[in-house]
A and B are shown apart, each in its own frame.
Chain A
Amino acid sequence: QITLEESGPSLVKPARTLTLTCTFSGFSLYTSGVGVGWIRQPPGEALEWLALILWDDDKRYSPSLKNRLTVTKDTSKNQVVLIMTNMDPADTATYYCAHRFGYGGFDSWGQGTRVTVSS
């Protein structure tokens, strides 16, 4: 059974850096074809894809946010970390991490973590 859980601060000040951790079980990032993605949903708005990291450490970012995003993995700890710089109130959202394999969709998701950007 695949599980994922996001963790991080619930409140971030504008211009600061957000660091979120996704801790997972039931799969390994040593396995070829496996990826972990980050997706967010601002209140009342649609889902937005942010980033993807693959088993071979290939990293992809949303073109509109790539200058602010960094994703890394610690395969031995079963963790993926998302860093977003220069936070703005518009970044207030629920942030999800999700598992992907091969060409399939994001088939398992965490429950999400709510992040509010406010001074």
Chain B
Amino acid sequence: QSALTQPASVSGSPGQSIAISCTGTSSDLGSYDLVSWYQHHPGNAPKLLISEATKRPSGVSSRFSGSKFGNTATLNIYGLQAEDEAAYYCCAYAGDNTFVFGSGTKVTVL
């Protein structure tokens, strides 16, 4: 069960849109649509942004959007804001009630 692959860093200017990919295998992302995304500011608890690949929990900004195709899930952040500067992690269901997190992506707002 290896970590899902994410780009180490993504950057963008305020107002721009960015995309963060999360690539897995046929055993996790390829088999289930149960992928979630988390925002993690240093020193804080991670925050759920997206669940079940595309569902945004109540209270999460509509600037965050999730999608999935095959073995790859994607988190889009629209209208980038300074407060979006954080680490982002995907997490996939790997069957049998086990999970695997991604390698993490550091988002920098230029």
Binding site for B on A (CB under 8 A): 35, 37, 39, 46-49, 52, 54, 58, 60-64, 96, 98, 103-107, 109-112
Question: Is the Cβ of A47 less than 8 Å from the Cβ of B34?
Answer: no
Q: A47-B104, A96-B45, A105-B91 are in contact. Are A60 and B97 (CB under 8 A)?
A: yes
Question: Between A and B, how many residue pairs show CB distances below 8 Å?
Answer: 73
Question: Is the Cβ of A110 less than 8 Å from the Cβ of B45?
Answer: yes
Min CB distance B33 to A, Å, is 9
Among A61, A103, A105, which residue has its beta carbon within 8 angstroms of that of B48? A105
Question: Is the Cβ of A105 less than 8 Å from the Cβ of B98?
Answer: no
Binding site for A on B (CB under 8 A): 1, 3, 34, 36-38, 40, 44-48, 50-52, 55, 57, 89, 91, 93, 96-104
Min CB distance B61 to A, Å, is 16
Report chain A residues within 8 Å CB of B101. Answer: 39, 46-49
A112–B42 alpha-carbon span in the complex (Å): 12
A63–B95 alpha-carbon span in the complex (Å): 12
Q: A49-B101, A52-B99 are in contact. Are A107 and B91 (CB under 8 A)?
A: no
Question: Is the Cβ of B40 less than 8 Å from the Cβ of A47?
Answer: yes
